Structure 1
Amino acid sequence: MTTSSPDTVLAAERAHLEYARDQLRRMQASAASLDASTASDPLNAAVLSGVLARRVASLQEDPSTTLFFGRMDQRSAHGSETFHIGRRHVSDVRGDPVVVDWRAPVSTAFYRASATDPMGVELRRRFGVDQGRLTAYEDEHLTSGERSARSALLAAEVERPRSGPMRDIVSTIQPEQDEVVRSDLGRSLCVQGAPGTGKTAVGLHRAAWLLYSFRGRLERSGVLVVGPNRAFLEHVGAVLPSLGEVRVRHATVDALLAHDTVRAEDSPQVALLKGDERMAEVLRRAVWQDLGRPREPLVLPRGARRWQVPASEVQDEMDALVRRGLRYSAARELLPRRLAHLVMLRLERSGDFPGDRAQEAIARSAPVRAYAAALWPALDPATLLARLLSDADALAAAADGLLTEAEQHTLRWSAPPRSARAARWSRADMALLDELADLLERTPSLGHVVLDEAQDLSPMQLRAVGRRASTGSITVLGDLAQGTTPWAATSWREAMGHLGRPEHELVVLDRGFRVPGLVIDFAARLLPVIAPGLGAPRSVRDNPGRLDIVAADPARRSAAVVEAVGAATGEPGSVGVIVPDAFTDAIARALERAGIAHGRLDADHGDDEDRQVELVPASIAKGLEFDRVVVVEPSAIAAAEPDERTGLRRLYVVLTRAVSGLTVVHSEPLPGALGAG
């Protein structure tokens, strides 16, 4: 391995970079010169104009980085070839590659080649980059028989201070991560990833790779990234655009299921019951038990005659529609046509052949539509759910054999609203409304869904996400040890079943690249309590990081926090101050009095401005990362949750947000598990 100041090798690479930039500008100018008005009609011209605009935008260069971050010389049947690997493809006037997209099949070897399996790679070169300039390089000679030393440039990039939103990891993807990223579109994956293993980045990069490899299909069907909260989505929202993928939708679970306004909060007991998978069958029964039974024949006046269809034949048609497995509303639309068909059979048997359009006219006739509507009434999710939660008899009929009388009593509203429009819905109700909406009309499916922090979703929420990928595939990301809800998953097999993916591939990532050893070892003391049997993550960073435990007198706790934050801001990189939710305002006032500028990531104070210091309530810390983290009062963070295990899981999440250093400030005794070891 060699690392050097600018020399002839570095000069040649810099010259290639300038050549690549020239070619990119040429490609951009060529795209900008294309004229959409030459399309055959205005509609096609508008579509083509949008395509060209996106093409021009995708060819913009980011001045803070370089067009390529690596190079490999690979031996093939045609001799030795050189490929420069970058974030986008750049070609010359003849169409030959100047820079190869990191997602291209040929780039796989750059990430996976090793001394034991060089994959034809003779040389792998990594570059040091600073503000768009190549500053250094390292070479690995994979076919020399020598064991490669650990890359200092790679380690420096992984451990580089963070500021602002999450960055892409294309220059540092590890072999086990690359295997997940390049998994085929037809495979649904579940990634169990310990803190700092890059599971979120891997999921986002898989979305980017899929869009590159299956662009035609996925641009039609769509890609969705689902995260736990708005702060998380703001943190990761720049990754895909930085890779040129701007047409990916991001949504929180709450936004995805926003069928109405949430104006109430359930107790943990009620929320747990509403999220139970048994509710799916309760709701299915509630929908279909509204069907009537025909008691009188269908009578249709036509001309001088009155045509009748016996109630038994009508019932047979209704039963046939139910057996077809159609959604309720689709079957309801078909019933008048089926009744019209029965009338047509009688007309034809009588020797009357009224023509092809007669059946549709009969189906639209007032007597047929009124008769069908009485048997198959129109339903809407809100009215149906309000009735179910208000009417003891309706709930008992739907829940018979599924929920106990005590559970039914727990579900029922103590004070039923005057109407569905006046109902005070909770977050848990949103998943029930979504289930009902799908029972009535099929939820459109996307081509691929990336679901992060999946362990925290209830079975009913998982069903809601899964149906949005019913005809596509899904990448599920999470960590069982970080489950912080009463219904948190304890098994990925069970969670994937709720998502409709009993057949899936489970991948375990346990090498931590982001969280330093001292921090992860400290947090891992909680694992035997919160996730028995789950292996502890292994930090592979050279720098063990820093861990400081500060015991403060209760009267000086805020002052100790200010001192810790002040010390953390003396170095570059982001600082997260993670506090019990109830402490947020008090710590904010302490920081303000000390003149420490900071942002707040809670729902009432969030904004889009990036600051070095962010004040974070513990309840929304999941998925975020900061160079240095100050955690305030761990015992209070744990105690805020409904039970000990959930509280310690929340604390585990909080402690593993640091990527360089962690300071714990406490006046209360630390939880017992943290004192061990």
Structure 2
Amino acid sequence: MSTPAADPVDPVDPLSHERAHLASSRAALRSMREDVEALDIRDVAANRVSAEALAHQIELRVKALADLSDTPLFFGRLDYLHAPGAERAEGAEGERFYIGRRHVHDADGDPMVIDWRAPVSQSFYRASKKDPMDVGLRRRFGYTGGDLTAYEDERLSDPAEAARTSRLLQREIERPRVGPMRDIVATIQPEQDEIVRSGLTGTVCVQGGPGTGKTAVGLHRVAYLLYAHRERLARTGTLVIGPNRSFLHYIEQVLPALGELAVRQATVDDLVARVEVRGTDDAAAAMVKGDARMARVLRRALYAQVSMPTEPVMVVRGSRRWRVPAYELEAIVGELLDRGIRYGAAREALPQRIAHAVLVQMERSGEAPDDRVQDAVARNSAVKAAVKAVWPAVDPAKLVLRLLTDAEFLAEHAEGVLDADEQKTVLWAKTVRSVKSAKWSAADAVLIDEATDLVERTHSLGHVVLDEAQDLSPMQYRAVGRRCTTGSATVLGDLAQGTTPWATRSWAEALEHLGKPEAVVEELTAGFRVPTDVIAYASRLLPHIAPGLRAVASVRENPGVFEVRPVDGVEGVIDAVREALREEGSIGLIAADGRVPALVEGLAAAGLSPLAPGEETTRETRLTVVPASLAKGLEYDFVVLDEPAAVVDGEPDERTGLRRLYVALTRAVSGLVVTHGVALPTQLL
């Protein structure tokens, strides 16, 4: 049972009472962990494999029950007016629930902390004065490290108490950070919670500007789905896809902090890593290779390997000969082609179909063959030879290599799909003769993945989160979509932050390529992380990079620091960095990729040792130098942005450059200083 809301022994000093409950809850969590550690499984498992699997599950459970000393075990309390499910009669006794990151129970099994994902916890995020959801009191807790230091009450059922913004909530949102991304479980807003708790069967696309929490929403949705559908997702699997390794390192601690340890994280390049990527494409070639039309070219090239039989098959068994005529073989092949099944599956079915035709003849002659006879016929050398001639095995990488090196082969299968200039753009030199010697690009690897799926179906997961999706090509969307054909997805992105030449133009188009055209598109427009002056300055670029897209409205009370500062050379940039280091939290120096080496050299000469993106900040080492190309998805308390014009000029065209600049401008959580020695882009003036 939970604690009664109308607790008669609630002391005069509520903070002491809450600290006591925190201490008791931590002790109960330790007991839960010790109980799991003490489990004896020596005589439980039937074999070694089962024993290892069970031991692994126990190990994960022990890790999930870890008490993180600097993380609040619970962050809120709900006092309900009535017991759940009871009639709301006057005088009915409600219950009290402490809301936290994981469930904790005492020795009798009674809950001391309720998991934030449980249905009863939903009111903590959605209850309001307008709709109190039977909550009499909502209490939020403030912490310093892992110590409970403050509380704040909202009496939702009291009409005399005016609605107000929670200062503890605002302070937690604006709190400086050092290290990787934190969870937002204590600060989830109603519109975010609605997305987090959306069902497993539906795909959701979240359009969100900088600081709206879309990444956190996606990660918390995974955690919620694992709670609500654990058995199903344990079988089918979950995956988080990010744009690069630096981003994945930044977010990798969020799910473990919520007790979820089994979610795989990867980039799109990781998913399609069937060949070693050693080459690069220019923008024009990458655009063509990333176009969805390439899927049609690949399908044509693959199924062109199938040829209609012109000779009969003669199967010899003992003293009897069985002849399958060419016209019957042609009908079998035609039927398999018409069914549209995978190339490899059809090739495996073909010998069985031929064998079945032989068995029909046997039965007509009075024999009674069984399945073993059919299998034996399917393995007959004559049948194998016919299959090899009609439906040959295909290596996907070799097929792509031939398309990229054989102009006639490409022209034959790209006719009416790619024009002559596009074909010429993707062709390699004919000197490349083997898969191993080829210098494959990232776009080539996606083509090979597409061809592989045409041959053999890609394994589908139960749920996939795709972050920074706006930068994917149509073919990359297809690669991700293959990983969730029988599952669902959470797609996260911002059309204004697309920085590739093939960046997404509309979510409807992207979702079509993903194979999820029925997905619901939600928009987050409330900015919780970026200060008002910073987002207002960056939003000057929106009419030029994403006409019609609504600007983010910052809801932060703290206006933050914002300054545009003319400087003279690297020394002026370093002075701005030194000033930022006087503030609390992480510091990011963002610059055009080409200017990073000179800035790193200047910092070293000034006695400052910066980190590279992906390296974890600490209280002692808080400065990271970030190339603009890697800034997407990252956040820093204070940002010094070096030379905006160089960021724009570092991209192949102005529109992409302005989008890259928009990303760089919106990485700051508490303050931004823009330094420049040359004129600013006119779009910022």
Match of 1:340 among 326, 348, 355: 355
Match of 2:239 among 203, 214, 224: 224
Q: Distance in 2 between matches of 1:171 and 1:459?
A: 36
3-state SS in 2 of match to 1:246: coil
3-state SS in 1 of match to 2:436: helix
Q: Distance in 1 between matches of 2:373 and 2:60?
A: 50
Match of 1:571 among 583, 597, 600: 583
What is the CA distance between 1:667 and its match in structure 2? Answer: 1.0
What is the CA distance between 1:45 and its match in structure 2? Answer: 2.9
Residues 486-531 of structure 1 deviation map (CA, whole Å, 9 limit, x = unaligned): 1101100000111001101111000000000010000000000000
Tell me, yes or no, if structure 1 residue 660 matches structure 2 residue 665: no
Q: How does 1:191-590 map to 2 (within 5 A)?
A: 191-553=206-568, 557-590=569-602
Give the partner amino acid of 1:584.
V
The residue that corresponds to 2:641 in the other structure is: 631
Q: Distance in 1 between matches of 2:481 and 2:50?
A: 35
The residue that corresponds to 2:17 in the other structure is: 12
Match of 1:59 among 54, 62, 65: 65
Q: Distance in 2 between matches of 1:40 and 1:174?
A: 45
Q: In the alignment, is the contact (CA less than 8 A) between 2:78 and 2:97 conserved in 1?
A: yes
Tell me, yes or no, if structure 1 residue 159 matches structure 2 residue 174: yes
The residue that corresponds to 2:661 in the other structure is: 651
Tell me, yes or no, if structure 1 residue 599 matches structure 2 residue 611: yes
Q: Distance in 1 between matches of 2:640 and 2:298?
A: 46
Tell me, yes or no, if structure 1 residue 144 matches structure 2 residue 158: yes
Q: How does 1:110-121 map to 2 (within 5 A)?
A: 110-121=124-135
What is the CA distance between 1:377 and its match in structure 2? Answer: 0.5
3-state SS in 2 of match to 1:485: coil
Q: In the alignment, is the contact (CA less than 8 A) between 2:567 and 2:573 conserved in 1?
A: no
Q: In the alignment, is the contact (CA less than 8 A) between 1:39 and 1:48 conserved in 2?
A: no
Alignment TM-score, normalising by the size of structure 2:
0.95
Tell me, yes or no, if structure 1 residue 621 matches structure 2 residue 631: yes
Give the partner amino acid of 1:47.
A
Q: Distance in 2 between matches of 1:585 and 1:414?
A: 34
What is the CA distance between 1:353 and its match in structure 2? Answer: 2.6
Match of 1:90 among 92, 95, 104: 104
3-state SS in 2 of match to 1:83: strand
Q: 1:226 to 1:166 in 2, by over 3 A?
A: same
Q: Distance in 1 between matches of 2:616 and 2:210?
A: 25
Residues 522-550 of structure 1 deviation map (CA, whole Å, 9 limit, x = unaligned): 00000000000001100000011111111
Task: Give the root-mean-square deviation of aligned CA atoms.
Answer: 1.3
Q: Distance in 2 between matches of 1:235 and 1:268?
A: 28
Q: Distance in 2 between matches of 1:278 and 1:356?
A: 43
Q: In the alignment, is the contact (CA less than 8 A) between 2:460 and 2:483 conserved in 1?
A: yes
Match of 1:38 among 33, 43, 47: 43
Q: Distance in 2 between matches of 1:506 and 1:664?
A: 34
Q: In the alignment, is the contact (CA less than 8 A) between 1:454 and 1:478 conserved in 2?
A: yes
Aligned length: 663
Give the partner amino acid of 1:92.
D
Q: Distance in 2 between matches of 1:7 and 1:549?
A: 51
What is the CA distance between 1:306 and its match in structure 2? Answer: 2.6
Once superposed, which parts of structure 1, at least 4 consecutive aligned residues long, lie more than 6 Å away?
none
What is the CA distance between 1:453 and its match in structure 2? Answer: 0.5
The residue that corresponds to 1:102 in the other structure is: 116
3-state SS in 2 of match to 1:588: helix
3-state SS in 2 of match to 1:476: strand
Q: In the alignment, is the contact (CA less than 8 A) between 2:77 and 2:96 conserved in 1?
A: yes
Q: Distance in 2 between matches of 1:415 and 1:523?
A: 48
3-state SS in 2 of match to 1:69: strand
What is the CA distance between 1:328 and its match in structure 2? Answer: 0.5
Stretch moving more, 371-380 or 398-407: 398-407
Give the partner amino acid of 1:133.
D
Residues 78-137 of structure 1 deviation map (CA, whole Å, 9 limit, x = unaligned): 621100000010112222111000010100000000000000011000011012111111
The residue that corresponds to 1:26 in the other structure is: 31
3-state SS in 2 of match to 1:319: helix
What is the CA distance between 1:7 and its match in structure 2? Answer: 6.4
Give the partner amino acid of 2:586.
S
Q: Distance in 1 between matches of 2:46 and 2:373?
A: 38
Q: Distance in 1 between matches of 2:500 and 2:575?
A: 33
Q: In the alignment, is the contact (CA less than 8 A) between 1:165 and 1:236 conserved in 2?
A: yes
Q: In the alignment, is the contact (CA less than 8 A) between 2:279 and 2:439 conserved in 1?
A: yes
Q: Distance in 1 between matches of 2:27 and 2:278?
A: 56
Residues 546-566 of structure 1 deviation map (CA, whole Å, 9 limit, x = unaligned): 11111123xxx2001110111
Q: In the alignment, is the contact (CA less than 8 A) between 2:180 and 2:616 conserved in 1?
A: no
3-state SS in 1 of match to 2:306: coil
3-state SS in 1 of match to 2:661: helix
Structure 1 residue runs of 5 or longer lacking an equivalent are 1-5
Identity over the aligned pairs, expressed in percent? 56
3-state SS in 1 of match to 2:54: helix
Give the partner amino acid of 1:307.
W
Residues 298-340 of structure 1 deviation map (CA, whole Å, 9 limit, x = unaligned): 1122223332111111111111112222110111111111111
What is the CA distance between 1:615 and its match in structure 2? Answer: 0.5
Q: Distance in 1 between matches of 2:459 and 2:432?
A: 31
Q: In the alignment, is the contact (CA less than 8 A) between 1:389 and 1:411 conserved in 2?
A: yes
Q: In the alignment, is the contact (CA less than 8 A) between 2:639 and 2:668 conserved in 1?
A: yes
Q: Distance in 1 between matches of 2:222 and 2:574?
A: 40
What is the CA distance between 1:148 and its match in structure 2? Answer: 2.0
What is the CA distance between 1:607 and its match in structure 2? Answer: 4.4
Alignment TM-score, normalising by the size of structure 1:
0.96
Q: In the alignment, is the contact (CA less than 8 A) between 1:575 and 1:626 conserved in 2?
A: yes
The residue that corresponds to 1:3 in the other structure is: none
What is the CA distance between 1:138 and its match in structure 2? Answer: 0.4
